[in-house]
Amino acid sequence: MIRSWLAVFVEDSYLVVRNNLQRKKFVETSNKRGLTNLKSFYSYLSEKELEVSENGQFFTIRIPLI
């Protein structure tokens, strides 16, 4: 059983969403462009970059507050 851990908070003018890393081998309905599209969208709205990171335990995305 995989236990999900999710945190959503504001830090340094970013909305931070952090979840445990859950790699999927194949997602049939995905076009694999979600993060690329989100980064592109935010580049029009803010000078700050959307930040995506992962380590062995967590996947984190930092979205600039506008």
Please state the domain extents for the chain.
6-64
pLDDT tens-place string over residues 3-62:
678 999 999 999 999 999 877 776 667 666 888 899 998 889 989 999 999 998 899 999
Strand blocks (E) in 1-66: 6-11, 14-20, 51-54, 58-64
Longest dimension (CA), the chain: 41
Tally DSSP H helices, then E strands, for the chain: 1, 4
